[in-house]
């Protein structure tokens, strides 16, 4: 994961841009990736795909030609999707177009105006005071042209066509934790999932935030009914505990599985309702008319957010690995879960089937043998029973699988 981050982090990966396309191509060399292209100007529900944007040069000079700020120093110095400009402007005018963050005065903030058509620079707040001339020459050489918004789709077919979708965005230029860490974890998850026989089909999506999700779904509406659950991933490398943002409904199976896994795998984590922790593509997937339950997992907050301080130095592979393992465990449980349906009558003669479990072998299971037997009516999944009885998923799964092997239950496919 760290290699990918080192190779891609400093690129200008704006939403429709060469840097973005190059990054996607890089990923396609790591895992099988279908590239979905949506041309500039395509109407995507209430949105429109923007033009391809490139920045060639940009600087601010005083009228004596002293360069006060230059794109060459840092890609973030130019606001994403800034209009071109070549003009002498008053200090007052310049200040309206200079974005800085007084809370983090030594860092260049990340700013963007994808749809508002404006020009702008981003600058360290503590450098503003040195701007005390009356006029400045501002120069931005950007181009807007027909292009294509691109979505990378890694599909891993499973036993059924129902899809669990995992999403990370790739469009934050020259930053790492937000958003390359989600991308890196997704690439590794793809590799792990490809090694397994899965029940669900998995789709791992790499895309520009919001407009990428909207473009993909609006141009591929036939996929929507197949999307069963989703997870959004981002900001996973910094040194903070995990933050679980629940899905819109907040109590769907995937929410409860996320809670179950986090409770067992990490000492502490934050939890909050939909859109109350971080806002990303879950507002599209779990939004109006789509409504695919999509929790989001991150390590929000972190102080370097949306600034030039979000560099490889603030993340570690150890954190990324930890997050990857969490998601793998969530997916493992979802994948193994099913609805057992009783095929026997009366309490089962357990010892006759080798289904008796001594309390010295597993006390909790021993205490719950009858309780499990009473919950095999096809309306409760293995995970529901696990929760009901406050047990371990694998204990319940293995025990009920033994019922299946004895022909005592079948799998009820109606979820």
Residues forming contacts to a copy of itself in the complex (CB under 8 A) are: 44-48, 115-116, 210, 213-214, 217-218, 248, 275, 283-284, 287-290, 342, 344-349, 351-353, 370-371, 373-374, 376, 408
CB of 52 to a copy of itself, least distance (A): 19
* 41: region left, alpha or beta (phi > 0 left; psi from -120 to 50 alpha): left
Which H or E element spans position 96?
Answer: helix 91-96
Nearer to a copy of itself, 57 or 371 (CB): 371
CB of 78 to a copy of itself, least distance (A): 22
DSSP per residue over 5-65, as a string? HHHHTTS---SSSHHHHHHHHHHHTTS--EEEEEETT-EETTEEPPPEEEEEEEEEEETT-
CB of 189 to a copy of itself, least distance (A): 25
Nearer to a copy of itself, 234 or 335 (CB): 234
User: Is beta strand 135-145 parallel, antiparallel or unpaired with respect to 121-122?
Assistant: unpaired
Q: 205: which DSSP letter?
A: E
Q: How far apart are the first and last CA of the chain?
A: 35
3-state secondary structure 370-391: HHHHCCCECCCCHHHHHHHCCC
CB of 105 to a copy of itself, least distance (A): 23
Nearer to a copy of itself, 149 or 376 (CB): 376
User: Cα separation of 371 and 369, whole Å?
Assistant: 6
Nearer to a copy of itself, 87 or 343 (CB): 343
User: Cα separation of 140 and 120, whole Å?
Assistant: 9
Nearer to a copy of itself, 94 or 217 (CB): 217
CB of 44 to a copy of itself, least distance (A): 8
CB of 377 to a copy of itself, least distance (A): 8
Question: 53: helix, coil or strand?
Answer: strand
Q: What are residue 5's phi and psi, to 5 degrees?
A: -65, -45
CB of 275 to a copy of itself, least distance (A): 6
Question: 59: helix, coil or strand?
Answer: strand
CB of 210 to a copy of itself, least distance (A): 7
Nearer to a copy of itself, 159 or 356 (CB): 356
Nearer to a copy of itself, 72 or 370 (CB): 370
**Residue 231 burial class via C-beta count within 10 angstroms: exposed 0-12, middle 13-18, buried 19 and up:** buried
User: Cα separation of 303 and 9, whole Å?
Assistant: 18
Nearer to a copy of itself, 108 or 283 (CB): 283
Residue 47: beta bridge partners? 44
């Amino acid at each position: 994961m760290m290699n990918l981050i080192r190779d891609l982090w400093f690129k200008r990966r704006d939403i429709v841009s060469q840097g973005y396309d190059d990054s996607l191509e890089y990923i396609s060399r790591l895992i099988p990736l279908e590239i979905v292209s949506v041309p500039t100007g395509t109407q995507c529900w209430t949105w429109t795909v923007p033009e391809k944007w490139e920045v060639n040069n940009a600087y601010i000079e005083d009228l004596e030609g002293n360069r006060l700020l230059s794109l060459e120093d840092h890609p973030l110095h130019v606001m994403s999707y800034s209009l071109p400009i070549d003009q002498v402007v008053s200090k007052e005018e310049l200040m309206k177009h200079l974005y800085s963050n007084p809370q983090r005065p030594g860092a260049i903030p990340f700013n963007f105006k994808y749809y508002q058509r404006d020009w702008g620079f981003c600058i360290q707040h503590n450098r503003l005071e040195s701007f005390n001339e009356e006029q400045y020459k501002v120069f931005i050489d950007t181009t807007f042209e027909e292009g294509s918004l691109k979505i990378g789709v890694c599909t891993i077919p499973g036993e059924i066509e129902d899809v669990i979708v995992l999403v990370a965005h790739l469009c934050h230029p020259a930053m790492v934790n937000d958003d390359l860490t989600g991308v890196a974890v997704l690439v590794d998850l793809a590799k792990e999932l490809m090694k397994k026989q899965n029940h669900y089909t998995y789709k791992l999506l790499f895309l520009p935030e919001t407009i990428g999700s909207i473009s993909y779904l609006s141009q591929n509406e036939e996929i929507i009914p197949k999307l069963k659950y989703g997870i959004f991933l981002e900001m996973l490398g910094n040194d903070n505990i995990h933050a679980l943002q629940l899905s819109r409904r907040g109590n769907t199976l995937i929410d409860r599985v996320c809670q179950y896994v986090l409770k067992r795998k990490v000492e502490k984590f934050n939890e909050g309702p939909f859109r109350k922790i971080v806002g990303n593509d879950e507002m599209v997937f779990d939004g109006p008319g789509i409504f695919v339950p999509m929790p989001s997992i991150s390590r929000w907050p972190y102080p370097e957010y949306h600034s030039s301080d979000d560099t490889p130095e603030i993340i570690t592979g150890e954190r990324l690995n930890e997050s990857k393992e969490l998601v793998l465990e969530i997916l493992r449980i979802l994948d193994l879960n099913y609805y057992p349906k009783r095929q026997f009558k009366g309490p089962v003669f357990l010892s006759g089937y080798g289904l008796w479990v001594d309390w010295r072998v597993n006390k909790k299971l021993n205490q719950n043998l009858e309780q499990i037997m009473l919950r095999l009516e096809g309306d409760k999944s293995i995970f529901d029973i696990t929760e009901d009885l406050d047990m371990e998923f694998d204990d319940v799964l293995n025990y009920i699988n033994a019922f299946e092997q004895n022909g005592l239950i079948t799998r009820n496919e109606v979820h």
